[in-house]
Structure 1
């Protein structure tokens, strides 16, 4: 469901298994059986073929732009290259549908795969398909692979959505993921939505698409209807009266090996005032725009760029960062804030949790806004 116009945007192709008496079997157990029998790839291909062949039927119900998402399991003995080659063979049968197809990969499976050739994803997207990463937040959990532009969507795992409340840890996790994904021009889907409270909060957090039992449970395609009674389901949709002052910001995280070229791109395509350098979840330094400007000459990236400018693009983050940044705990209160300001505690501040792990940044801009709203 698209949160912009509350229309059905995508349908995900799932499979269910029945025993000889017609009773539903546990899906995850049956998927495990298919994996153990080395049949999971064939199952994926069969479901993909059947789902895409049904798109004309779905378009009559939900409009010509309705999309289909198919799942691809990488827990297979078949090399990733061969699997994608088989997918391409199916896609050739449905060329006019390709712009409306999303291939969904599970985050942990993708990054546990021995195949490192991201060119395969590039080839999929070159054909006009979209690529989504599923269960985001439970596996690799890094935006480093999103920056290369191989993915169009990420799906936030349902564990972060279930019983979502304003101000909870999951609230800020969803908020951070959504904000950073949008910075990288990646759309966000929240799955497992089951209540109007979750709908309200996710809409407020600007999540692009919602999926879950609240709108409809999985069913055979012949049982689907264009009228899923959205108006009654959304009658309690409200604009949340939430005083959500942006004290903490969540800029993309850098590694010590990020180069000036990559940092330049991040600063030029965002409004963040500082970028954290993070190692093993610990902030080891911060690069502000002012520090970046000291290393980036005015001619950098222009037609007046010199060879020295060009060579400087490989300069690592460690050569630019301030390793003596100020650190505050996530529970910082107004009294502590005023005390640190009186003592000229220089911005930006790195925000950490009890384990000393990096969470975000407080800069002078967000602090001024926060104090003006108090």
Structure 2
């Protein structure tokens, strides 16, 4: 990785990103939580603002934590049966809401990820949700926080499609799109699904639309870089974003042609989860995926070949293979993850540590056995 460029503050960094987009179509940034990615997205947006009040001109359509704040719940405290999501009518984010039939634009995207439906009231600026259970339609439901996040994300994707279309007047002001961490807490499968979907939409855009994508999720970052870079006509650049604890300055470092390999990125995520003790049932799915990729690389047909067989508790690796096989096939919800049982956490730690110790991974990535680091 090349040495990074330093910037005194977020405005200087935002100006640099805009100058780099003069010769690039897309910039993909990776940064840890707390680096300042959300504040950078707002600084980037502010650079493009001109004027004030009704005459204010903008050039950036953005998705970040502030975007989610444009949607607020009215839970009908008194009647408790007419729950709805209120839209901020003052935001230009909703330009063309009535004219563009947003329901029909959002619904096909939402059906990729969720099993509920909705209706947008363009006069009252509110959204009501419904779900079909055992053939019966239940109206006015309160969807979960995770489901709300995916609805807002699909809402944004529908608007981005309009911004990509040069014939749509309502969003012709959009010259830049800035996307910061679209969906948090993604497992491996859904990080790839969301990334592929977004890349597919961006690959259809003409070269006049410039895009910045920032994320703390290594797999999502990797997928976006590789999927966008697959089309050589799309000029893509990927960077690590960091912030100095000393003087508060920011730095960008070019990641090179391949920023991450999937299996290494997944392993580091699993290691961090073990260290923190925050293990969920879907982590077994991620571990199984790593073992399957590793088995295939080494010429084996079954992931069990990559489970060490010198463990005193499981000398043949049968128990650990069986655990992974069973626990990686549950119907686990992405948006309502279930904590792993303590006994299964212990097995998970042993399998992960044995695998990492068996193969020569960079020891800087896994400095100590996860179960030791994470012990309270």
Pairwise TM-score range, normalised by the shorter structure: under 0.3
Question: What TM-score comes out, normalization by structure 1 length?
Answer: 0.27
Q: Which has the higher contact order (CA 8 A, sep 6+)?
A: 2
Question: What TM-score comes out, normalization by structure 2 length?
Answer: 0.27
